[in-house]
Amino acid sequence: MSPVARETEMPPVILGTAGHVDHGKTSLVKLLTGCDTDRLKEEKERGMSINLGFAPCLLGARRVVGVVDVPGHIDFIRNMVAGAASIDILLLVIAADDGVMPQTVEHMHIIKLLKAPSVIVALTKIDLVDETMLSIVKDEISAFLSENGYSGSPVLPISNVTFEGISELRAEIERIVDSIAIATEKRLFRMNIERVFQLKGFGTVVSGIPCAGMLNVGDEVEILPLMKHSSVRGIQNYKRESQRTSAGICSAVNLRHSDASELSRGMTIASPGACRSSRTAILRLENISREIEIKPGRSYRFLSGTSETLARLRMIDPDRSLPASTVLCRAKFEDELVLWAGDRFVLRSDSPSVTIGGGMVISASDIVEKRNSDKFRCNLAAANESLSRGDIFACELLGAAKFAYSAEELASLTHLSGTHADEAISAKILDGTLSDLGGKVCIVIPQIHRLLGRLEKFMKKYHSDNSDSHGLDFESLAKFCGLESADPKKLAAKLTDLPASPFKISGGRFALKTFTPRSENPLKGKVISAIKKAGANCIANANIMAETGADEKALKAVIKILAEEKAILVIGKHNMNMEAFVECMDVFRKLAAAKSPVAVPEFKNAMEIGRNIAVEILEKFDALGFTVRRPDGRILKG
């Protein structure tokens, strides 16, 4: 029987190098993969890596693991950060003749800020030292690893010249790959662009390592922050054609209808609606320096994914970032960035040129609330706690500026796809974080304080201007809240059910608990009586004034209250009581059942009213969506 050819397996695991310049990272990668990742002429001439290098490392059982070779020189830290963000296994390269060097220390700090990967130390250039020196360097490395929380990590002696230790290194990489639990990818697709190039006959290609989700040939994508849409023409994983890619696999994506000159490193391609760009963010910032205070108002270099920009910081709690402390802060960026809650970042100063901190994004929302607001601080503390336990959706909801979202916006905030997003939203409704208002709208209960203050102020003015009214109708309430698509009754009920709510429902209307309508206006009874007596014939304001003796201003105030209370309807220039209007609707239904469309004369004769009044009533039917007008008459809608 002929052997069956197995497909190459590509576990979503990234092995990344780090270490001081000229410690042999690129040579070691070449031994592991057979690829020279220094592809630029300048890299060849200078004998050092400048850009990230990507290469496939073939393990046993036809498995391929991506290797990212990062530059070690201090001038190319930005490129190092871009590669480090995706690393699952850190191959820390330390030369035996140098030991731990300044760049070794900075790279380890960056790795710890961006991720907490497994660590293997490749102790290179062992052919250049004797046994005594080798023992001293090993002890130094063991102490360095313990200091950084990686005690017990393997230290493997390697020679890039004699190949000693290479087979042991491969075996250790394979052992760690086997130990990494690979979760099912449920998130929406996102990839930070590392390179952009034009390929003759194919068009624009972008490359990088997806940080979330799965992408198939033919899928639609959004390019941010350009907010442009494209589709996937082709995919290569480790320079091999493929129908799909996913998080943790080095990939090149061929985009349709995209101009390479518009795209650049630091941009993002993502599932449509999965991401948004922002110039502000709330951050959890760890100051790793032992001497430098991170000062508010100063600009620092902010590096996240493949992007770099300047950030100006303002501390929230506490108001200073002392050495070796962790604070919450607000960042304002020089450029638009695409960030999710949970994204990691590095902060560097220009003078001195060092890494001074880093941490995680809590929210990329444009929050304008005062920093000393107790509720704001409380919500940020809760968002920070959610981030610590890995509940990114809760972090997005609690750290953002909005109190209400559409179903589509919520699905985007979960960062999950399809039914996984629905399940996450349902869970937040069950635990009370969200409340479903119908109309595919939810409010975030911990954020509702952003509305209550404005609403309470509005209601005080409303009651002052409408002292005879029981309160605001629910539709107007929904409009004020910017939630027209929500169920207005559900909204009113939720706002009055909140703990310590200042609102109530009185007479079927929304009002402040402290408000009591002014004593019943004696004119109301006279006006209602006049309108009711007119029946389907309606009555104009002038006739009501003649009958009741009311002046125009007083009558208009009463008419407004009665209309708000739905006791009457204003129809054109006339007024009709609600019972008479319902009777008109019933008559139209009977006419339409017998013969449709119904013409104006037919309705006029059936109601025994004048033509002008009949036309005004029929036009009211149209406005309310009860009827649809046609050239030869009207029909019932739906």
| pLDDT digit string, tens, across residues 161-204 | 888 998 899 889 888 888 876 766 789 999 999 889 888 888 99
- Confidence check: pLDDT of 50 > 50: no
Instruction: Tell me the average pLDDT of the chain.
Output: 86
Distance, C-alpha 393 to centroid of its chain: 9
CA 597 – CA 587 distance, rounded (Å): 14
Beta strands of 243-296 (E only): which ranges?
A: 244-246, 251-255, 268-270, 277-287
What is d(CA 158, CA 92) in angstroms, rounded to the nearest whole number?
12
Token pair of 293 as six digits: 């205070």
Helix, strand counts (H, E) of the chain: 19, 33
pLDDT tens-place string over residues 5-24: 345 566 778 888 888 878 88
Asked whether the predicted pLDDT for residue 596 surpasses 70, the reply is yes
CA–CA gap between residue 553 and residue 308 (Å, rounded): 64
Q: Return the pLDDT at 470.
A: 83
Instruction: Average the pLDDT over 613-617 and give the result.
Output: 92
Domains delineated in the chain: 14-179 (3.40.50.300), 190-270 (2.40.30.10), 277-401 (2.40.30.10), 402-519 (1.10.10), 522-636 (1.10.10.10)
Bridge partners for 436 per DSSP: 442
Give the pLDDT of residue 48: 32
Q: Across residues 30-57, what is the average pLDDT? A: 52
Task: Say yes or no to pLDDT of 52 above 70.
Answer: no
Which residue, 192, 166, 200, 178, is CA-closest to 84?
Answer: 192
SS3 content of the chain, % helix, strand, coil (to 5): 35, 30, 35
Rg (CA), the chain: 34
Strand order in the sheet with 118-124: 53-58, 64-69, 14-18, 89-95, 118-124, 155-157
Q: How many CB atoms within 10 Å of residue 243?
A: 12
DSSP string of 491-513, one letter each residue: HHHHHHHSTT-SEEEETTEEEET
- CB contact at 8 A, 359 and 345: yes
**What proportion of the chain, given as a percentage, has pLDDT over 90?**
53
Q: What secondary structure does DSSP assign to 158-226, as a single string? A: --TTT-TTHHHHHHHHHHHHHHS------BPPEEE--EEEEETTTEEEEEE-EEESEEETT-EEEEETT
> Which tens digit of pLDDT belongs to each residue from 201-255?
889 999 998 989 999 999 999 999 999 999 999 999 887 899 999 988 889 999 9
pLDDT of residue 355: 86
Q: Any residues with CB less than 8 A from the CB of 632 and at least 6 apart, and which?
A: 597, 599
Report which DSSP code applies to 63: B
Cα separation, 54 vs 70, whole angstroms: 9
pLDDT given at position 227: 93
Q: What is the pLDDT of residue 37?
A: 44
pLDDT at 419: 92
| Predicted pLDDT of residue 81 | 64
What is the mean predicted confidence (pLDDT) over 525-543? 90
Per-residue pLDDT tens over the stretch 57-106: 777 666 777 777 765 444 445 665 665 667 888 899 999 999 999 888 88
Q: 509 near 564, Cβ under 8 Å?
A: yes
Q: Does the pLDDT of residue 350 top 70, yes or no?
A: yes
Query: pLDDT band for position 325 (50/70/90)?
Result: confident
Structure tokens at 105: 């220390």
Residues 418-422, mean pLDDT to the nearest whole number: 92
- Written in H, E and C, the secondary structure of 39-60 is CCHHHHHHCCCCCCEEEEEECH
Q: Identify the pLDDT of residue 33.
A: 74
**pTM of this structure:** 0.78
So what's the pLDDT on residue 573? 83
User: Which range, of 107-111, 501-505, 540-544, averages the lowest pLDDT?
Assistant: 107-111
CA distance 444 to 440: 13
C-alpha 466/C-alpha 468 separation (Å) is 6
* Residue 522 predicted with pLDDT over 80: no
Q: Using an 8 Å Cβ cutoff, are 480 and 458 in contact? A: yes
